[in-house]
Amino acid sequence: MPNPTPSQWYKNQFLISTSQALLQHDVINAVFDSEYMYWTKRISDEAMKHMLSHSLCFGVYALPESSTEIACQLPSNLLQTLN
């Protein structure tokens, strides 16, 4: 099934996106294996990729409030390269 062109919207300090590139499969799988989703269990990486590729996914992401906050999230080796 071909993926439709991702859409995104901004509301206050949040990004809402249908881009599957932003999804973190390991985080989704960790939630599957948590008490928040007691009715399901962790699945294989291959099964996760297959499931998501056949789904319309919405991600909600908190945007940083400043460029300093973005810099604090960069890997240390990249920060050294930028300085």
Q: Taking residues 1-17, what's their average pLDDT?
A: 82
Predicted confidence (pLDDT) per residue in 23-73, tens digit: 999 999 999 999 999 999 999 999 999 999 999 999 999 988 765 565 566
**Is residue 3 assigned to a domain?**
no
pTM: 0.63
Gap between the terminal Cα atoms of the chain: 44
How many separate domains does the chain show?
1
Domain, as residue range, for 41: 8-82
**Is residue 57 assigned to a domain?**
yes
Report residue 78's pLDDT band, with 50, 70 and 90 as the boundaries: very low
pLDDT of res. 83:
43
Distance between CA 43 and CA 45 in Å, rounded? 7
Task: Give residue for tokens 């399901």.
Answer: 40
**Is residue 1 assigned to a domain?**
no
